[in-house]
């Protein structure tokens, strides 16, 4: 039996590269975009897509690497780049490959995106704007192409050990990350791979159109119960600082 082809459109992130290796190990024929191919050049993509038509079964489209820059420092070029890299590429990939799947009546498209489709990162307005846009694209694909056998999923990846660069001076999201996970440790980067493998199966069909938050529970973190000793220490500090009110958020 011929191997099913799975295209990962962008291998810039370590998660995408590890998924590539993992799925190859499961027997999929893994495909990457040839060097120099522009994902937002529809004509170019269409021509290349024609050559894959035969056995392409699924496409995984990862979000671009995280990009942080304060609004007042962003330029027109930054906006254009974010729109091309974060939004237009997702749209062109969808139009070309989901189009192939629709014609065939079968296929999977997975948007391997980010929790920043829901949760701001701080100073990441252009990046998160793209995530929010692609989240809506995934929902539209489910509506427009779902009746033609195309299954679509939007995965909100959490922070992994390979994301050291999300630290912002106005959000504590990326600080003390280990504490935010109920298991008290950051999931290994390949923890996503099992989910991706499942979504490629027909068993995942009832989840089509879903947002799947794969963040190990970190986004839900709000604080934690502390010990009596810690509480006493906080009260002592409070007295020292002569503050009338202290709100304990459980994080620095």
Partner 1 sequence: MAMNEERVALVTGSGKGVGAGIVRVLCREGWRCCVHCNSNLALAEKTLEQIREAGGEAILLQADVSDPAQARALVEQTVQAFGRLDLLVNNAAMQYNRFIDEYDVDRLRKLWNINLGGYWRMIREALPYLRKSPQPRIVNVASVHAKRPTCFDAGYAMTKGGIRMFTRELALELGVDGIPVNAIDLGGTRIEFKTGNPAFHSYRPLETRNPAMDGKVRLVMPEEVGHLVSYLASGAASAMTGSCIRLDGGQMLT
Q: For partner 1, give the closer residue by CB, 4 or 74.
A: 74
- The distance of closest approach from Cβ of residue 83 to partner 1 in the complex, given in angstroms and rounded to an integer, is 5
User: Applying CB under 8 A, which part among 76-84, 104-112, 179-187, 198-206 lies near partner 1?
Assistant: 76-84
Asked whether position 130 contacts partner 1 by CB under 8 A, the answer is yes
- Strand ranges across the sheet with 150-157: 29-32, 5-8, 56-62, 107-114, 150-157, 211-214
Asked whether position 132 contacts partner 1 by CB under 8 A, the answer is yes
Nearest to 16 by CA among 141, 125, 110: 110
Residues 6+ away with beta carbon under 8 Å from 149: 101, 102, 104, 105, 106, 107
Asked whether position 95 contacts partner 1 by CB under 8 A, the answer is yes
Indicate which single residue of 30, 63, 107, 116 sits in contact with partner 1 (rule: CB under 8 A): 116
Measured CA to CA, the distance from residue 218 to residue 246 in angstroms comes to: 24
Q: How many CB atoms lie within 10 A of CB 45?
A: 21
Q: For partner 1, give the closer residue by CB, 59 or 117.
A: 117
Contacting positions for partner 1 (CB under 8 A): 40-42, 70-72, 74, 76, 79, 83, 87-88, 91-92, 94-95, 98-99, 116-126, 128-137, 139-145, 170-171
């Amino acid at each position: 039996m011929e191997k099913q082809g799975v295209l990962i459109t962008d291998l810039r992130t370590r998660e995408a590269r590890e998924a590539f290796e993992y799925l190859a190990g499961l027997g999929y024929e893994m495909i990457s975009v040839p060097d120099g191919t522009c994902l937002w050049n529809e004509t170019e993509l269409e021509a290349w897509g024609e050559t894959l038509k035969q056995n392409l079964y699924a496409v995984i489209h990862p979000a671009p690497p995280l990009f942080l820059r304060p609004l007042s420092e962003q330029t027109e070029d930054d906006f254009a780049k974010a729109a091309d890299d974060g939004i237009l590429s997702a749209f062109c990939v969808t139009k070309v490959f989901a189009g192939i799947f629709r014609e065939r009546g079968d296929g999977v498209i997975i948007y391997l995106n980010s929790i920043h489709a829901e949760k701001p990162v701080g100073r990441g307005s252009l990046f998160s704007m793209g995530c929010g846009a692609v989240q809506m694209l995934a929902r539209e694909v489910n509506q427009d192409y779902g009746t033609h056998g195309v299954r679509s999923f939007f995965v909100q990846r959490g922070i992994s050990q390979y994301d050291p660069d999300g630290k912002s001076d106005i959000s504590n999201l990326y600080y003390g990350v280990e504490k935010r996970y109920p298991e008290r440790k950051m999931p290994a980067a390949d923890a996503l791979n099992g989910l991706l493998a499942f979504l490629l199966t027909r068993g995942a069909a009832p989840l089509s159109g879903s947002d799947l938050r794969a963040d190990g529970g970190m986004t839900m973190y709000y604080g934690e119960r502390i010990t009596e000793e810690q509480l006493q220490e906080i009260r002592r500090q409070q007295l020292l600082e002569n503050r009338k009110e202290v709100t304990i958020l459980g994080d620095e």
